[in-house]
Amino acid sequence: MEFLLTLIIQIAVIIIASRTIGLAFRKIHQPQVVGEMVAGIILGPSVLGLIAPHLFTFIFPPSSLKYLSTLSQLGLLLFMFIVGLELDPKLLKGRGHAAVLISHVSIILPFILGTVLSLYLYPLLSNNSITFTAFALFMGASMSITAFPVLARILSEKNLIKTKLGAVTIACAAVDDVTAWSILAIVVTVVRASSDKIPVWLTITGSIVFILIMILIVRPVISKLEIYYHNKGNKVTNDILGLVLLLMLASAWTTEWLGIHALFGAFFMGAMMPRNKYFLNSIIEKLNDVTIVLLLPIFFALTGLNTSIGLIAGPDMWFYFALILSAAVIGKLGGSTISARLTSLSWREASGLGILMNTRGLMELIILSIGLQFGVISHALFTMMVLMALVTTFMTTPFFEWVYPAKLIRKELEEADKEKQKFRILIPISFPSSGSGLAKIAFAVSPNHDLKIYALHLLRGNEISISNLGDENTTANSSEVFLPIMNFAKENSINVSPLSFATRNAALDINQIASIKEVNLIIMGWHKPVLSESILSGTVSEVLREAKADVCVYLERKFQPYKNILVPFKEGANDLGALTLAQQMAIKLNATVTLLHIIKPKSNIDDIISNKIPTGPNDPDYDLSLTGIEEFPEEHLKLQTVESDSPLDTAIKIANNNFDLVIVGFSETWGLEPALFSKRHERLARECPASLLIFRKYVPKK
């Protein structure tokens, strides 16, 4: 009973101190976790033990610390599981090359500095029972870490996630932590191989088997949790949470048994969970409160109990600390800044990223606790490293606000919002002559608000990184292929950004860039494939199938201004989208749009209305809102209803009646979707003398 009473007092004191000091640090614009780290040190021998030694001994008797240690380890397991849940692979979307380059330089440089520094510190501050290799590897890994969760919260609080800087930084931190923790796993394997007599081959082989089982067997099985979650009304029930925790504990037990560490298993299981954000957020919400408010402060307190600033006594010890702090800041902040500048970020952006990446926080304390647990570092070095983690985390906010003042952040957010409000169109250009024609169509189909065109020229050859796509000024503005479209843009005051690089897979790169730039529409010209007569094949076909944006394929046959436009309409999102484009063109070009509705013979008015198309102005049910298009100017619209058993033949016949342009939805009805053994495929495209605009609507998968 006595140990329980002591434990209750300890937890109460820890919660009071962590919440009070954490809130005080928030008042001075510091992350709350920094205050909680400081609270842990205040409760330890460095402050409380020095000021009130009897009270310190009463609250934290040495015999009771094993119970606190058990609770703190449980808290760390849950925390690392949450970190795994929050690690979103989509963070690398469009930023993979830049993130990998910046993060790896920001790991390699501090790792090298930490390893070199260990040559000097090993005989002075190491635990003599540990090998130099293990000590050097640990010093390098501990210098390289970035506090991904703390950094994410700083970016969120400053509303920087939506900016270019925030997006690149969070992606870098994600890659950084995965790499640094992989290095730490090697360190732990080396240390435990010598201390626990666990064969290295067993740890390595077992780890590979464990990873393969998790990816190939466990991940597909637990993906069914998402289905169960939906069946329960998108609610994480106690049964789901219980199963998730059991899986986490099983994974943690396995990695501990293999000789790595239980924390790696918890993190890996979090990363394997289904990536439905609502499902993940529900689990995180349930686990966060007890983890953040109760269990992690216990870990901070235990860290503080193992930290004794009195061990850093005399000028020599403070000199060692200065060396450690300098190596950490120069390696992390300097390495991140320089590598970020090399990936086209400005000096201000690169410096801001370097300052943010220098944040170490809780992740550093976790690594240090592992090092102390396995005897890799002495208590004196542990204290120095804890202080280094505190200083580098504390300096983040004031340094960042100095480089990136609030007014500048507000300005960038306003510019980002303005950019998002623009209607964005991607135009892949193969030949100079095609650029201006595609730009004319882009201008004609865009809504009346701001238009932004990305003109893309892909070169066949070895793939070149597209990490510079965020900086349109780096592309070849003077390239011959862009001259016609740039001239058209200048004449019509259109914002065009040229992009050019080599490619191995044109369709894949077009779709990737469309996602990166978040375009609303892709407009492609048609150029006959070398080995095929088909229009909608090859690159065009792949883009139509895979692009996460609306797609238009343009076949230019008549070069005069489009004044007479035909829109065959039957049903579906693609046909309705074609009609929407026609509406925009009618307004922009002062053109007349003939809406051709083909119905089965002897259809009644109910059939017509059910298809959401009126028969004409004399129809008592005539209402343009039925088409789903509001305020289509009646002076620009002609309605023609034809009874026919063959919509395609009828559309081809009418399309030959002096129309300048035919806009049609991508569907089998109009012979545009390939069908096995079908002779209908692309007849409209081949037999229509007018220019043709084929539209495919993007419908996100649920």
| 387-432 per-position pLDDT tens digit | 999 999 999 889 988 988 878 877 777 776 666 667 889 999 877 7
- In this structure, the answer to whether residues 41 and 96 fall within a common structural domain is yes
- In this structure, the answer to whether residues 368 and 473 fall within a common structural domain is no
Check residue 90 and give its pLDDT: 62
Among 73-82, 246-255, 582-591, where is mean pLDDT lowest?
A: 582-591
| 113-145 per-position pLDDT tens digit | 999 999 999 998 887 778 888 889 889 988 988
- In this structure, the answer to whether residues 540 and 585 fall within a common structural domain is no
**Domain boundary at 411, 431, 458, which?**
411
Check residue 616 and give its pLDDT: 45
Check residue 473 and give its pLDDT: 38
CATH at residue 299: 1.20.1530.20
**Average pLDDT of span 494-503:** 82
Task: Please give the share of the chain, as a percent, with pLDDT higher than 70.
Answer: 85
| 23-37 per-position pLDDT tens digit | 999 888 888 888 999
Check residue 629 and give its pLDDT: 52
Averaged pLDDT of the chain: 81
CATH at residue 606: 3.40.50.620
**Domain boundary at 411, 442, 471, which?**
411
Task: Please give the share of the chain, as a percent, with pLDDT higher than 90.
Answer: 22
Check residue 462 and give its pLDDT: 42
For residue 627, is pLDDT > 60? no
- In this structure, the answer to whether residues 312 and 459 fall within a common structural domain is no
| Three-state DSSP state, 551 | strand
- Report CA-CA distances (Å) from 485 to 432, 442, 455, 491: 8, 11, 8, 10
Q: Nearest-5° angle of CA 316, CA 321, CA 325? A: 150
Q: CA torsion sign, 103 to 105 to 107 to 108?
A: positive
- In this structure, the answer to whether residues 251 and 334 fall within a common structural domain is yes
- In this structure, the answer to whether residues 34 and 163 fall within a common structural domain is yes
**Average pLDDT of span 276-299:** 88
Residue 305 maps to a domain? yes
Residue 637 maps to a domain? yes
- In this structure, the answer to whether residues 462 and 570 fall within a common structural domain is no
Q: Which residues contact 283 (CB under 8 A, 6 or more apart)?
A: 85, 236, 241, 244, 273
Which residue type sits at 608? I
| 85-101 per-position pLDDT tens digit | 887 666 555 555 667 77
- In this structure, the answer to whether residues 229 and 345 fall within a common structural domain is yes
For residue 662, is pLDDT > 50? yes
Check residue 531 and give its pLDDT: 41
Distance CA 462, CA 277 (A): 36
For residue 527, is pLDDT > 60? no
**Domain boundary at 356, 388, 411, which?**
411
Residue 577 maps to a domain? yes
Letter string b/e over residues 649-685, b meaning 16 or more CB atoms within 10 A of that residue's CB: bbbbebbeeebbbbbbbbbebbbbbeeeeeebbbbbb
Check residue 61 and give its pLDDT: 92
Higher pLDDT, 558 or 261: 261
Q: Where in the sequence is the domain holding 433, given as residue range(s)?
A: 422-555
Of 640, 548, 625, the closest CA to residue 592 belongs to 640
Check residue 254 and give its pLDDT: 93
Residue 417 maps to a domain? no
| Three-state DSSP state, 576 | helix
Higher pLDDT, 195 or 340: 340
Report the DSSP beta bridge partners of residue 383: none
Q: CA torsion sign, 318 to 319 to 322 to 327?
A: negative
Residue indicated by tokens 């666990």: 198
Residue indicated by tokens 């380890």: 73
Of 497, 403, 487, 485, the closest CA to residue 452 belongs to 497
- In this structure, the answer to whether residues 267 and 396 fall within a common structural domain is yes
Check residue 24 and give its pLDDT: 93
- In this structure, the answer to whether residues 96 and 130 fall within a common structural domain is yes
Number of structural domains (the chain) is 3
Which residue type sits at 2? E
Residue 702 maps to a domain? no
Distance CA 359, CA 189 (A): 26
Check residue 162 and give its pLDDT: 65
**Average pLDDT of span 161-170:** 75
* Residue-level length of the chain: 702
Q: CA torsion sign, 626 to 628 to 631 to 633?
A: negative
For residue 202, is pLDDT > 70? yes
Residue 699 maps to a domain? no
Among 242-246, 565-569, 677-681, where is mean pLDDT lowest?
A: 677-681
Residue 515 maps to a domain? yes
For residue 191, is pLDDT > 70? yes
Higher pLDDT, 651 or 628: 651
Among 57-66, 111-120, 606-615, where is mean pLDDT lowest?
A: 606-615
DSSP 334-357: IHHHHHHHHTT--HHHHHHHHHHH
Residue 700 maps to a domain? no
**Average pLDDT of span 254-274:** 88
Q: Using 50, 70 and 90 to split pLDDT, how confident is the model at 269?
A: very high
For residue 677, is pLDDT > 80? no
- In this structure, the answer to whether residues 278 and 405 fall within a common structural domain is yes
Among 153-157, 169-173, 548-552, 623-627, where is mean pLDDT lowest?
A: 623-627
Region label for 70, one of left (φ > 0), alpha (ψ between -120 and 50) or beta (otherwise): alpha
For residue 478, is pLDDT > 50? no
Check residue 690 and give its pLDDT: 86
CA 491 to chain centre: 37
Check residue 385 and give its pLDDT: 94
| 455-472 per-position pLDDT tens digit | 888 876 543 333 333 334
- In this structure, the answer to whether residues 343 and 196 fall within a common structural domain is yes
- Report CA-CA distances (Å) from 449 to 425, 481, 490: 13, 27, 18
Check residue 416 and give its pLDDT: 65
For residue 657, is pLDDT > 50? yes
Helices (H) and strands (E) in the chain, counts: 31, 10
Task: Give me 698's structure tokens.
Answer: 């993007």
**Sheet of 661-665, strand order:** 495-503, 451-460, 423-428, 521-525, 550-555, 691-696, 661-665, 564-569, 592-599, 637-643
Please, are residues 268 and 250 in contact by the beta-carbon 8 Å criterion? no
Report the DSSP beta bridge partners of residue 593: 565, 637
pTM surpassing 0.85? no
